DNA sequence: ATAGGGTTAG
């Protein structure tokens, strides 16, 4: 069915509407996206699999996985559309991101059962989830399975596996997989190198991390802010704050501007060493460099202050945070609760907890994901 | 023409 519609005498169709819905989802105005959908239907248009998938993805990115799943089921039950590989993959991703990998695997089998062939993205989504759960061998089984089906693993597949093997400390397998990539002509990209830099840093091997950075430069893959931030964190972890600060200068001289993340890492480094005043100095340096502190920045310092028993400073920093328009999140609440309890302010802790309950800060989804 | 996947701190 084709009907032409005009808005301000510009012809529009279902593609235009889907694009508009996509924008709404991206702008976090999901309600508006759904009212657009209602409007489309009311005007006699037929939303297609693109339209619905955009909405499902929107619900997922707004941490509303149950509604996404509900919509998916409803579409099937009422035969509104025939879910394709993309929609299945979107739902599979939603399941994976809410720690339902086994259900994701079931859906993979189910889609195959109805003749909807999974592709490399479908597999990568599950492989990544398995790797994050440290079930790397299961992930490797899926890689053989996809290969047998003629679906070639790509650089993202390898990145997921490398990440999983690194987290499990399986360095020999990392080496093997890394050379396998060259053999199969799958070229490492920035992402790949960043995973390796991070793995070395997490193990305290900052020298090896620096070697990886040298290699990537040689291979024509210049490091980005994530690479340098990761290295900075590595130096912080090994207590080398001066080296971490040097990285900040290296970034600048390589034309990469430090970001909020860079400062948060250094601030965290100082707080861990109970040098909260140095952390606060950095907080003051941020606006000078045109960087706005975020919730994370404040959370870290508040946590540090509590650990030193400086609850009066916590109070003023909390006020500053609110005044500057930073909305406390579930982590802030947890830090405050924990800090109040540990500093024997039980009455305050309890009344704060009640307030959080009232304000609904403990939404079901957040609870499931952060506690 | 429009939709889906991987990296850094707490």
pLDDT value, residue A2? 42
Give Cβ neighbours of residue A80 (< 8 Å, ≥ 6 apart). Answer: A47, A52, A74
Q: In the complex, which nucleotide's C1' lies nearest to the CA atom of residue A88? A: B4
Q: For A73 and B7, how far is CA from C1' in angstroms? A: 33
Segment A42-65 mean pLDDT: 95
A285 pLDDT more than 80: yes
Q: Nearest nucleotide by C1' from A202 CA?
A: B8
**Band of pLDDT at residue A361, cut at 50, 70 and 90:** low
Q: Are A332 and A296 in contact (CB under 8 A)?
A: no
In the 8-state DSSP scheme, what is residue A80? S
CA of A57 to C1' of B3 (A): 8
Closest-lying nucleotide for A96 based on CA to C1': B5
> Where does the pLDDT of residue A253 fall: very low under 50, low under 70, confident under 90, or very high at 90 and above?
very high
Look at residue A10 and give its three-state secondary structure: strand
pLDDT at A146 over 90: yes
How confident is the model at residue A9, as a pLDDT? 66
Does residue A341 have a pLDDT over 90? no
**Are the C-beta atoms of residues A267 and A285 closer than 8 Å to each other?**
no
The two tokens of residue A168 are 């499990």
Which pLDDT belongs to residue A246? 96
- Nearest residue: Cα versus C1' of B10: A300
Span A139-148, mean pLDDT? 98
pLDDT at A320: 94
Work out the pLDDT band at A6, boundaries 50, 70, 90. Answer: low
Q: Which is nearest to A264 in space by CA: A232, A296, A234, A239?
A: A296
| Chain B positions with any atom < 7 A from a protein CB | 1-10
Q: Could you tell me what percent of chain A has a pLDDT over 90?
A: 81
Distance in angstroms: CA A127, C1' B2: 28
Our measurement of CA A10 to C1' B10, in angstroms, reads 49
Task: State, as a whole number of angstroms, the distance between the CA of A152 and the C1' of B1.
Answer: 28
| Nearest nucleotide over every DNA/RNA strand to the A15 CA, judged by C1' | B2
> H or E segment at A18?
helix A14-26
Residue whose entry in the numeric block shows the structure tokens 């009455």: A347
Q: Which residue has the higher pLDDT, A349 or A8?
A: A349
Q: Which two tokens stand for residue A181?
A: 């990539």
Instruction: List the single protein residue with the shortest CA to C1' distance from B2.
Output: A15
pLDDT at A351: 75
Q: A369 pLDDT exceeds 60?
A: no
Question: How distant, in Å, are the alpha carbons of A16, A79, A113, A257 from that of A116?
Answer: 27, 16, 7, 45
Instruction: Name beta bridge partners: A12.
Output: A5
| Structural domains of chain A sorted by starting position, each given as residue range(s) with its CATH number in brackets | 1-83 (no CATH), 84-187 (1.25.40.10), 191-258 (no CATH)
Q: Which nucleotide is nearest to A296 (CA to C1')?
A: B10
pLDDT band at residue A7 under the 50/70/90 scheme: low
Closest residue to B9 (CA to C1') is A265
Nearest to A357 by CA among A367, A347, A344: A367
Task: Kindly report which listed range (A114-128, A279-293, A320-334) carries the lowest average pLDDT score.
Answer: A320-334
């Amino acid at each position: 069915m084709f009907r032409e519609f005009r808005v301000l005498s510009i012809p529009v169709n279902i593609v235009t509407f889907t694009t508009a819905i996509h924008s709404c989802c991206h702008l976090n105005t999901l309600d508006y996206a759904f009212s657009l959908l209602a409007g489309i239907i009311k005007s006699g248009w037929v939303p297609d699999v693109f339209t619905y998938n955009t909405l499902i993805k929107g619900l997922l990115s707004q941490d509303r996985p149950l509604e996404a799943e509900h919509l998916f089921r409803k579409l099937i039950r009422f035969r509104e559309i025939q879910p394709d590989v993309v929609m299945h993959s979107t739902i599979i991703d939603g399941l994976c991101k809410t720690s339902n990998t086994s259900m994701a695997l079931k859906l993979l089998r189910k889609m195959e059962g109805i003749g909807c062939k999974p592709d490399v993205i479908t597999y990568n989504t599950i492989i990544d989830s398995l790797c994050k759960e440290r079930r790397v061998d299961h992930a490797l089984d899926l890689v053989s399975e996809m290969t047998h089906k003629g679906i070639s693993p790509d650089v993202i597949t390898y990145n997921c596996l490398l990440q999983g093997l690194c987290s499990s400390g399986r360095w020999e397998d990392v080496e093997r997989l890394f050379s396998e990539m060259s053999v199969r002509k799958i070229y490492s990209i920035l992402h790949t190198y960043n995973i390796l830099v991070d793995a070395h840093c997490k193990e305290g091997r900052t020298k090896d991390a620096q070697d990886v950075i040298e290699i990537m430069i040689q291979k024509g893959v210049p490091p980005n802010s994530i690479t340098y931030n990761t290295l900075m964190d590595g130096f912080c972890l090994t207590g080398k704050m001066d080296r971490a600060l040097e990285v900040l200068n290296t970034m600048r001289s390589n034309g990469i501007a430090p970001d909020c993340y860079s400062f948060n890492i250094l601030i965290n480094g100082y707080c861990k060493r109970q040098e909260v005043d140095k952390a606060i100095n950095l907080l003051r340096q941020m606006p000078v460099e045109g960087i706005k502190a975020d919730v994370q920045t404040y959370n870290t310092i508040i946590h540090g202050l509590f650990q030193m028993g400086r609850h009066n400073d916590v109070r003023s920093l909390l006020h500053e945070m609110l005044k500057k328009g930073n909305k406390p999140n579930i982590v802030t609440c947890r830090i405050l609760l924990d800090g109040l309890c540990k500093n024997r302010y039980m009455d305050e802790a309890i009344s704060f907890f009640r307030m959080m309950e009232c304000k609904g800060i403990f939404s079901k989804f957040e609870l499931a994901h952060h506690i």
